[in-house]
Structure 1
Amino acid sequence: MKKIKIVLADDHAVVLMGVRGVLERHPQYQVACEVRTSGELVEALRREHFDIAIIDFSMPGDEVYGDGVRFIGYLVRNFPEVKFLVFTMLSNRLVLDRLCELGVQGVVRKDAGMPQLLSALDALSKGRRVLSPCTGEGGDLHSRLTSLSVKEYEVLRLFVSGLRVCEIARLLRRSDKTISAQKASAKRRLGVTTDQELLACCLEGHFFD
């Protein structure tokens, strides 16, 4: 039986170890490579062929590749022979829909557990696509967070990671003015007025874990 060759991409060592440990118990899968940054993943994909790439949505990026929607779009366009499965904690429905539009074959939330990941891999190996549903938990805060647009979500995700407006603008290839406007719009949607309140809101909702 030909094994399904997989590359794992996540900046959390515990996640890499856990996923590898589960997959190694299933003889049809071969974890051939592990990477922790966007650049390392691109290098691995250029170096050898993989059937499936299990990737996190948020990874340490760089000014060349970035991460998130921009990076995943780049991967799908440049490596069409690879099936991309996003393994993430994101729950924003607009972002999930955007990932499907970009052409990823699957999205699975990390809190769905390893059985859901294995089910998704089985579906991908049979040519089916998989989209893990939002959990819908968190009440009003969750509703407000998931109402963000894709661009607002990207800006907030990078803001929470500690980047300044000018740094976010450079990574997303937008102007400082545009980033500031999208950040301000996100504040209005979330009902906060200061950066401190914005950060607290995102952390309380575990929106970018």
Structure 2
Amino acid sequence: MIRLVLADDEAMIRAGVRSILTTDPEIEVVAEAADGREAVDVVLANRPDIALLDIRMPRLDGLAAAEQLRATAPEIAVVMLTTFDEDEYVARALATGAAGFLLKAADPRELIMGVRAVADGAAYLSPRIAQKVIVQFSGGRMSRQETARKELAALTPRELDVLSLVGRGRSNQDIARELFVSEGTVKSHVSAILLRLRLNNRVQAAILAYEAGLIDS
């Protein structure tokens, strides 16, 4: 069961998102919050698998709430939910260590797919957001490729294999199956990669893998 806390300042949005998510029998919305400060308190009280946070909320916005949660409960995955896809929001969300970024206007199936992907240990960006990220990091890619490859020189061959698959959006389970290792081994490799490369999450790892040429767009 995927335990989730939902935070949005609009009651109708919360009701709609809850209605969509609970069509999946494996997702349980254990609590809700109407602003950012309440969201932090509710998440810390319930310790869910995922905190689904609206970006624009009163008292404390979703991005600031995500930063607090990363500092106090880094084991809880944060997914940002918004009607906006401006570059500044994408960049800030990635910087907070968010594991996913979903648009409210997306297909309901995408909402469920994104939550399940993050719960399975993968990162998930709404396709519109993913396209923006690729475009943003495509400019001047050759100049960054050398720097990125130097950073990856610190990794072992097996860690490079894992990073390549993380960059392709594979979950820990998928990577374990593909590399014929246990899921626990994959988790250890991912943790080592993030620590060695000083990255906050799998999204940033995927971007670095793309910049280094391990994967293409």
TM-score, length-normalised on structure 1?
A: 0.58
Separation (CA, whole Å) in 2 of partners of 1:134 and 1:23 = 21
Pairs within 5 Å for 1:180-195 = none
Equivalent position of 2:26 in the other structure: 28
**1:121 counterpart = 2:119:** no
**1:84 counterpart = 2:78:** yes
**1:39 counterpart = 2:37:** yes
Distance 1:121 1:24, change over 3 A: same
The code of the aligned residue for 2:97 comes to G
Separation (CA, whole Å) in 2 of partners of 1:78 and 1:24 = 28
- The answer to whether the 8 A contact 2:77-2:98 is kept is yes
How many angstroms does 1:117 deviate by? 0.8
Return the structure number with greater helix share: 2
Structure 1's consecutive aligned runs of 4 or more residues displaced over 4 angstroms after TM superposition are none
The code of the aligned residue for 2:43 comes to L
Q: 2:66 aligns with which of 59, 63, 72?
A: 72
> What is the percentage of aligned positions where both structures have the same residue?
29
The code of the aligned residue for 1:17 comes to A
The code of the aligned residue for 1:52 comes to I
Equivalent position of 2:139 in the other structure: none
SS in 2 for 1:32: strand
Equivalent position of 2:13 in the other structure: 15
How many angstroms does 1:135 deviate by? 10
Distance 1:69 1:121, change over 3 A: closer
How many angstroms does 1:71 deviate by? 3.2
The code of the aligned residue for 2:31 comes to C
The number of residue pairs the alignment matches comes to 130
- The answer to whether the 8 A contact 1:86-1:107 is kept is yes
The code of the aligned residue for 1:38 comes to G
Separation (CA, whole Å) in 2 of partners of 1:99 and 1:42 = 16
Separation (CA, whole Å) in 1 of partners of 2:100 and 2:12 = 22
Q: 1:131 aligns with which of 122, 125, 135?
A: 125
- The answer to whether the 8 A contact 2:81-2:103 is kept is yes
How many angstroms does 1:134 deviate by? 4.2
How many angstroms does 1:49 deviate by? 1.2
Separation (CA, whole Å) in 1 of partners of 2:69 and 2:6 = 14
**1:100 counterpart = 2:98:** no
Equivalent position of 1:196 in the other structure: none
